[in-house]
Structure 1
Amino acid sequence: MISHTGTGDLSTSLAMAHHGTGHVGRIGSSPAEEFARPTFAAGALLWRHSKSATGRAEGTEIEIALIHRPRYDDWTLPKGKVDPGENLPGTAVREIREETGFEARLGWLLGYVHYPVGSRTKVVYYWTAEAIGGKFEANEESDDLKWVAPNKAAKMLSYDIDRDVVEAGRAMLALGCDRRVLYIRHGKAHDRKGWGGDDDLRPLNKKGRRQSEMLTSAVEGYRPEAVFSAKPDRCVHTATPVAQDLGLTVEVEPELGDAGWSVSPDVALSAVARATADTPVSAVIAQGAVIPGVLARLAGQNGVEIEDLRCKKSSIWVLHFAGEELLGLDYLASPLPVK
């Protein structure tokens, strides 16, 4: 992760990605326990493909959005504090929109920077985010925005921390991800021991329904274009608010669930590949046996090392692919608000 004192562990993370062992980013279920009196924020390395003289985006070169804040007279990256009731991905998307006017699609989780502010610790999580529409208009937070090449961005930025974020994002974008899968475990359901009927009909409990509702803000920033679900009602009901928010239909495929895994790991793995192959970003809601099983096989096939393959209820694994190659993963342990 990015430290305010330098690149530190960040360099190790990026080196792992370049040497083929894969990037694995994480946000735990209780990040407030990891820092002394934290104040959380989120932001992004907002980027787009460089434009030609005719204004058309072309080639593989990128430009990065820097904003000028009149209050501080500095050049920085879009970011801001978490509002009450927000999760971190939701904050990142909102802050991008408010400070730059652009709609964006989240990509890699880059990590966090942290630094003291008075008696508290400011903790800012960053993503890469591709600008997909919008227009900048000066506002109270930012009175100017410039799209610049990464090398120029490093010279313009006012803080070394932001330069570290740019370098991290530039390295991850260079890996060439062209497809993402959000692999989500269903929300908390009624206890299996107290359920006498068909297990596929066991519903979400109150916490599970809240988790499914909060998933919409955690997932929408990635802008999935298809939503798939395993057969159990608890999976379908977890997927439904996300699909409705995005104007999509939940596509139910039994082999995406534990049922497919129990037949054969190859059956489950093939079901995920078949469902998501032709979609730039898709969401798959499944169960607690099949998800870690499929991830372990994918990681092993692609030389990605995952030290902790946990899969909490309503957690999101973001899988980054280049073609069929798994480049790395990000784990978001909970969609619930950051405290």
Structure 2
Amino acid sequence: MVDEPAAVLAAGAIPWRRKDHRLEVLLIHRDRYDDWSWPKGKLDAGESLPECAVREVREEIGLVTTLGRPLPAIRYQVKSGAKVVYYWAAKVEQQRIIPDGKEVDAVKWVSVDTARHLLSNGSDIVPLDALEQAFKAGDLDTLPFVVVRHAKAKPRSTWTKEEGERPLAATGQRQAIAVAELLSAWRPHKVVSSPWVRCVQTVAPYLKRQDMGVKLAGSLTEHAATRKPAKTAKQVIKQLDKQRCVALCTHRPVLPITFDVLASRCAPGIAAFLPHKNPYLEPGALLVAQQSRTTRKIVSLEIVSPFTD
């Protein structure tokens, strides 16, 4: 039986923390429904699922979060049809939790067993089980490594100047704004980019928003990947080994080398989810690899589609 298309799409996160070597999760209480659940909400028009998850967590409990590894989505029926909710893990350090007083009137840190007992919707246990499994495996605490393919550039066939100077097309400029929104869901602390104009322009809106600089790496250009692929791979390895939240912006011909490096760092079964066929990623798309802080293995991969018009 094929699932019916979702009439309602929503996204949220499971806030978690480690306390006395034990996993705790944050439940929210909604007075309107008198239920206990996870922070979540419906997508706004033109919003992606990761953006929605971050926004809903911020609006409902005042938490500015960075998305961790994705968790299983849940599906259930509402009046308008099937509703699908996508979840991510969201580690909480010392941030203060403040219920908005409108949708959420109370929050509670509880153990996993208590959460299973309190959750009003039985399907909400599905992402909780995955969260607990990752915690027990030592793979819940992760760092995102984000690979960005530059946004849509002006056609190569009509460009008469140096290839490295070819800029974004009008669509690409709009995609770059969408890339900034998406990157904010993972908030990379460092951005490494090919020095070619179209790559720098792709990450420029995010850099401006975060008041950050960019690290230019000549080894991430198309020419470098063709002439010295080992040097390109070395740059990717270098950034992975820094154990920081990094975004790397590059070109389509560089992606196979980048993904080969990622494959070598993947936990069992994860590398199969890497793109293996040209064009690997669409212009402006992101691949987010979550790297375990404990094992340093990549434990999840997700691709976020770009804005198109």
Tell me if TM exceeds 0.5. yes
Shorter-chain TM-score range: 0.7 to 0.9
Give me the whole-angstrom Cα distance separating, in 2, the residues matched to 1:66 and 1:127: 14
Q: CA deviation at 1:118?
A: 2.6
Secondary structure of the 1:146 match is strand
Q: Is residue 68–residue 75 contact of structure 1 (8 Å, CA) maintained in 2?
A: yes
Residues 47/116 of structure 1: CA separation in 2 closer, same or farther (3 Å cut): same
Check if 1:89 corresponds to 2:50.
Answer: yes
Residues 76/37 of structure 1: CA separation in 2 closer, same or farther (3 Å cut): closer
Amino acid at match of 2:298: L
Question: How big is each residue's C-alpha offset from its partner over 1:22-75, in whole Å with a ceiling of 9 and x where there is no partner?
Answer: xxxxxxxxxxxx95253211100111222xxxxxxxx54321110011111110
Question: How big is each residue's C-alpha offset from its partner over 1:210-252, in whole Å with a ceiling of 9 and x where there is no partner?
Answer: 1110112211121211111012111000011111112210111
Q: Is residue 103–residue 131 contact of structure 1 (8 Å, CA) maintained in 2?
A: no
Q: Match for residue 69 of structure 1?
A: 30
Check if 1:141 corresponds to 2:103.
Answer: yes
Q: Match for residue 84 of structure 2?
A: 123
Q: Match for residue 318 of structure 1?
A: 288
Q: Match for residue 250 of structure 1?
A: 214
Amino acid at match of 2:186: Y
Give the structure, 1 or 2, with the largest relative contact order (CA under 8 Å, sep 6 or more): 1
Give me the whole-angstrom Cα distance separating, in 2, the residues matched to 1:219 and 1:117: 31
Residues 149/335 of structure 1: CA separation in 2 closer, same or farther (3 Å cut): farther
Q: CA deviation at 1:115?
A: 2.2
Residues 197/81 of structure 1: CA separation in 2 closer, same or farther (3 Å cut): same
Gaps of 5+ in 2: none
Q: Is residue 189–residue 205 contact of structure 1 (8 Å, CA) maintained in 2?
A: yes
Identity of aligned residues (%): 30
Q: Is residue 87–residue 217 contact of structure 1 (8 Å, CA) maintained in 2?
A: no
TM-score by length of 1: 0.81
Q: Match for residue 285 of structure 1?
A: 249
2:205 to 212, 236, 241: 241
Gaps of 5+ in 1: 1-33, 51-58
Residues 190/111 of structure 1: CA separation in 2 closer, same or farther (3 Å cut): farther
Give me the whole-angstrom Cα distance separating, in 1, the residues matched to 2:257 and 2:125: 38
Check if 1:327 corresponds to 2:298.
Answer: yes
Q: Match for residue 167 of structure 2?
A: 203
Give me the whole-angstrom Cα distance separating, in 1, the residues matched to 2:243 and 2:139: 19
Q: Is residue 69–residue 89 contact of structure 2 (8 Å, CA) maintained in 1?
A: yes
Q: Is residue 273–residue 301 contact of structure 2 (8 Å, CA) maintained in 1?
A: no
Q: Match for residue 124 of structure 2?
A: 162
Give me the whole-angstrom Cα distance separating, in 2, the residues matched to 1:155 and 1:225: 38
Q: Match for residue 114 of structure 1?
A: 75
TM-score by length of 2: 0.88
Structure (1 or 2) with the greater strand fraction: 1
Q: Is residue 182–residue 284 contact of structure 1 (8 Å, CA) maintained in 2?
A: yes
Secondary structure of the 1:48 match is strand
